[in-house]
Amino acid sequence: MLKRGIAFACALAVLMGTMSMITDAAAQTARAEFKDRQGRAIGHADLTQGPNGVLIYLELRDLPPGPHGVHIHNVGTCDDHAEGFQASKGHINPGSKAHGLLNPRGPDNGDLPNIFAAGDGTARAEMFTTLVSLDGNGSPALLDSDGAAILIHENRDDHMAQPIGGAGARIACGVISAR
């Protein structure tokens, strides 16, 4: 009887540990639903916290063909689509670093690689950043009290020029929300 009790306790501990990992994993994901300057839904980004950064998968449609800069901005709002998403403020940048993944005085925490929209306006990309986190563990949190947003720009980011690498106007925005 004692052996069965110990086996049951061990199985229960393993099950509880597994459930804890599942719960932790569920708390470590987020999504951004993108809208364009007319307020139309044009895609999403799925974000997953890893042990060393955040994996971001983007799936968009109805973009102008070609390269587009992508940045993470300080405030989680996209309500001002007609005004060009200015309420999302600037890049996440608590260390006041220079903009640009290639800049020796950068990058700031909101810098991400460019994406490329096909001739039909679709874009899919997967990127990884160590410069932010979902929960604030070791780097700025995307899910803090004022949130964060991912912005798509009209042009490519050259990853050097200030303040946004020549990426131009903000053409799409997605508020990052916990899932």
What does the pLDDT look like over 56-69, one tens digit per residue? 999 999 999 999 99
Query: Is 6 domain-assigned?
Result: no
User: What pLDDT does residue 86 have?
Assistant: 96
Residue percentage of the chain with pLDDT more than 70 = 85
The helix/strand/coil state of 31 is: strand
| Contact (CB, 8 A) for 131 and 142 | no
Whether 60 is covered by a domain: the verdict is yes
What is the average pLDDT across 107-126? 97
Q: Is the pLDDT of residue 119 over 60?
A: yes
- Give the pLDDT score at 64: 98
pTM over 0.75: yes
| pLDDT tens, position by position, 125-166 | 999 999 999 988 878 999 999 999 999 999 999 999 998 899
Asked if residue 46 has pLDDT above 70, the reply is yes
Q: What percent of the chain has pLDDT over 90?
A: 80
Is position 135 within any domain?
yes
Say whether the peptide bond before residue 163 is cis (omega within 30 degrees of 0). Answer: yes
Which domain does 101 fall in, by range? 29-178
> Would you say residue 12 lies in a domain?
no
Q: Which pLDDT value is given to residue 137? A: 84
Whole-number Å distance between alpha carbons of 122 and 58: 10
Residue 102 has pLDDT above 70, yes or no: yes
Q: Is residue 72 part of a domain?
A: yes
* Cα→Cα distances 6→14, 15, 17, 61, 101, Å: 12, 14, 16, 56, 54
pLDDT score of 4? 56
Q: What pLDDT shows up at residue 98?
A: 95
Does 15 map to a domain? Answer: no
State the DSSP code for 67: E
Q: Is 5 exposed, middle or buried (0-12, 13-18, 19+ CB in 10 A)?
A: exposed
Q: Which pLDDT score, from 0 to 100, does residue 21 have? A: 44
CATH number of the domain residue 113 falls in:
2.60.40.200
**Residue 152 is encoded by which pair of tokens?**
């798509």
- In-domain check, residue 69: yes
Confirm whether 20 is domain-assigned.
Answer: no
Quote the number of domains for the chain: 1
